[in-house]
Amino acid sequence: MQKIAGLVCWCLTIQLLVATSLDELRQQDPTLWPGHLQPFGAKQTTVEVEQIDYWPEPIDFFKEYVEKNRPVVFKGLAKRSPAYKLFTDEFLKDFPGSKEFQVSAEPHKKEIRKTQPLYMSFHDFVSRYHNESLYMVNALPEELRKHVLMPAPLRCEETKELLSSQVTWFSSGGTKSVLHNDDVDNINCLYRGSKELLFIEYNKNKKHVPLDHPEGGYSSLDVDSVDYTKYPALRFVDQYHHVTMEEGDCLFIPYHWFHQVNSIASDGGQNLAVNVWFQHVFGHRPQQCDIAPINATLDKYKFAEDEPDNAEDGQNEMNEEDTEKFPLLSTIEYILEKKKSISLKLFVKMLFKNPRLNPMKMKVRPPIPEDIVKTLKEMFAVLDITKDGAIKSEDLDKIEKIDDEQQIKTSGEVLNQGFAVIEDFFEDLVEDHHQEQLRSQQGESSKEKDEL
C-alpha cells in the first residue's frame, strides 16, 4: 500500500514538474503566446465599451468622459443628422461642385501610412470606389458640411476654439487601420456600414504598445498577424476594449488611447463616417451651449485646419520665446549667434523650453527617463557632425552640404521621431498632472461627503 502511495506521489510530482516546465517554456517563447501570428486582439481578454442612447450635457461630457479618458458609444444619435438619409451614392456623386472638389484617396484598404495617396474629384471617387481598392480620407466639402450636425456636446461657443479638424472616411468596406493613437480627442459618427474597433487604454499600457513610428503616432505591427517575437511587450497589455459601431452610432475616442479600426460595408456597399477632432483641454467647462440644431451644422464652424497660413515670407527675426514657429536648424543658428557652441546640456534645455514641445512649460524633475535620454542623445549626434561633443557653426555648414539622399532621409527620421517622442513626453507630464488634480478633487469631494 505504501509503494502504491509512493508511486502516486511520484507521478503527481512528475506531472507538476512537466506542467511547470511547459509554463516556463510558454513564458520564454513568444511563439507560444496566445494570439501569436493571429489578428490583433484575437486571443486577448476584451470588455465592451459603455453605450448610452442620449447626448450628455456638454459640461458632463467634458467632466465625465474627456477628463476621465472614457470612451463611450452614443447609440443611434448620428441618425439625427440630415446626412444619415441624404448620403447615397447618387446624392454624393452629383452635389454642386462634386466634379471640381479634389479629394485624397488611399490606394489600399489595409492602411500603409507611407503610401502616396491618389488625387481625384469627389465625383470620380464615388464613380470608382465600388470597383477599385480606394479609401477616401479627406475633409468634407463645404457643400456637404451643411448636412452634418456637430455632435451635441461640442455645440458651445467656448468649445469652438478647440475644434481642430473634421475628416470623412469613405470606402466600400473592408478597410483596416494600423494600430495608432491621436493627440486630440475625437467624436466619430457613422452614416453607412459598421465598424469594429479595439482600444487599449493609454495610461496603463503606454510602455507596452509598440508605437515604433512616434512621429506619426502609429505601430508597424501587422494587424492581421501580430508577431510577438518582434513586439513582446504587447503581451503585457492588461485589457482590450471592444466596440461595434452600427449604422447611425457615434463614438467618443479619447485622447491618446491606442486603437485599431476595421470597417464593414452596408448592404448598399458603403462605409462612410465623419469625425470631429478637438484639442484635449483639462478643466473645460462650456456654458454657452444653446446653439440650435439649425445653426449647428459643420458649415457653421471653423476648424483650425481651415485657417490659412499667415506666416510672413522672409521673416528672419526670432526671439527665444517664439522658437516653435521655426525649424530646429534656424533655432540653433540663432543661439550660435550668441554662443560659440551648444553642448548636449544646452541642447536639452533648448528643446525642453521650446513652446511647441512644451506649451504648458512643465518642469522636468530628475531623473529623466532612460528612453528620453537616449532620444536626446540620438538627436544631438545627428547634428554634431564633427563628433566633438558640441554643435557649432561648422556642423551646420557640413549639414547644408550633405548630398547623400539616404543620409538626409535617415537624419530627418531621427529628428522627426525625436520631436514626437519629446512632445509625447511633455503631453504625458501634463496629463499626469491633470489626473492628479482630478484624483485630488475627487478625494476632497469624498471627504466632504464623509463629513456631512
Confidence (pLDDT) at 260: 98
pLDDT in tens, 395-418: 888 888 887 788 878 888 888 888
Residue with cell 469624498: 446
Closest residue by Cα to residue 212 from 348, 354, 113, 107: 113
Give the residue extent of every domain in the chain. Answer: 46-306, 324-447
User: How far apart are alpha carbons 170 and 13 in whole angstroms?
Assistant: 60
Q: What is the pLDDT of residues 265-324, one digit of tens each?
A: 999 999 999 999 999 998 999 999 999 999 999 999 999 987 654 433 333 333 434 433
What is the residue-averaged pLDDT of the chain?
Answer: 87
The tens digit of pLDDT for each residue in 219-239 reads: 999 999 999 999 999 999 989
- Count of C-beta atoms within a 10 Å radius of residue 220: 16
Answer with the residue of higher pLDDT: 263 or 347.
Answer: 263
Cβ contacts of 53 within 8 Å, gap of 6 or more: 74, 75, 76, 77
Convert the pLDDT of each residue in 99-146 to its tens digit: 999 999 999 999 999 899 999 999 999 999 999 999 999 999 999 999
Q: What does DSSP say about strands 51-52 and 72-74: parallel, antiparallel, or unpaired?
A: parallel
The one-character DSSP state at 162 is: G
The DSSP element (H or E) to which 73 belongs, if any, is: strand 72-74
The distance of Cα 384 from the centroid of its chain, to the nearest Å, equals 32
Q: What percent of the chain is predicted at pLDDT more than 90?
A: 64
Coil vs helix vs strand at 189: strand
What is the rounded distance in angstroms from the CA atom of residue 47 to the CA atom of residue 107? 33
Residue 257 vs residues 183, 209, 263, 302, 423: alpha-carbon distances, Å: 9, 11, 19, 26, 16
**What is the CATH number that goes with domain 46-306?**
2.60.120.650
Report angle CA 402, 403, 407 to the nearest 5 degrees: 70
